[in-house]
Structure 1
Amino acid sequence: MSMFIAQTINKADPTTDIELMVYSLQNRLNQFFAITIALVISAWTGQWLGIVSAYLLLMLIRGRSGGRHLPSLTWCSLVSGIFMGLVPLINYNEKVIIVMTVVSVITFLLYAPNYFHERNDDGSDLKNKVIVTGIAASNLFIESSLMATILVVQAITIIPWSRR
């Protein structure tokens, strides 16, 4: 879909860089479809606020902590949308929330941020570690099942399971 849109735009303005446009469109469409899937699920579950909270927290934590990527943007859209749509339905008792949160805090302290692709180092790794660890630790007071689930899943994605 990104290629089709980029080619259509390029016909109207041949000076546009198709490869750059495809890349940009893929990222935007990925977010759009993930949110759309989550909102469709919320139409059945009525969890509008939970889905918005899940989206905002996931984007904040993921953007600051890095993590592994799925094999394609299509898979990313599907898995992210379903995850954000279903995570508000999960409820744990207080002890499970605390354990999940502590595991997340320790994982973020040890591994965040962990980017599994090349990037320009802007010198904000320590700042990002402090932010994600602080957000994770705040769930020790908030005790949110939604937050604990998002934190532990994101923490799992930053663990370097094998050598690079």
Structure 2
Amino acid sequence: MRYFLYELFEAQNRDDVVGEALVKVDAQWEENVAAYEHVFTSIHDRLPTSIVQHFSGWGFHDSRIINIEFEQTSFLRLHVHLTISNAAARKKDEKLSRLSFQDVSHFQFQHLNARNDASVLQLEMDDWLYEEFLPIDDNTLSFEVLLSSSANILIHFPNHGVTMTPIE
């Protein structure tokens, strides 16, 4: 993550960061939000309109990834599908979406907080916090998502190579 840094999120939520230190962290967060919004706006034409509209708001904030599926159609063609739950309190109100990336050139999963003894991708603790769409070059974008456990997923894909569909 370039803008929504885990370290800033962690500092904002720690009891020992108070006073001037917290003011400084909050100011850095606001500066990063403004910088990211500028970058995201600059790549709107490289993303489907539905993706721009969805991620111009809260995106999937407070949702949960409940499945990651890899689909390899040939040696050089990999598609990645994230099944996302809105994490509704009542199961009958739950809405699922599928965020799909076509022709993925890079996929990385890491745990940014090695001090955390709990494993990553635990449904009871792994809410979706923030995501970033960033340019890599003229033809490639990156998508990165940060989860509350500090799990981090990074995907590189070609322009317009992402779709979102509701799951009925």
TM-score, normalised via structure 1 length = 0.30
Higher share of residues assigned helix: 1
Structure number with the bigger relative contact order (C-alpha 8 A, sep ≥ 6) is 1
Greater C-alpha radius of gyration: 1
Higher share of residues assigned strand: 2
TM-score, normalised via structure 2 length = 0.30
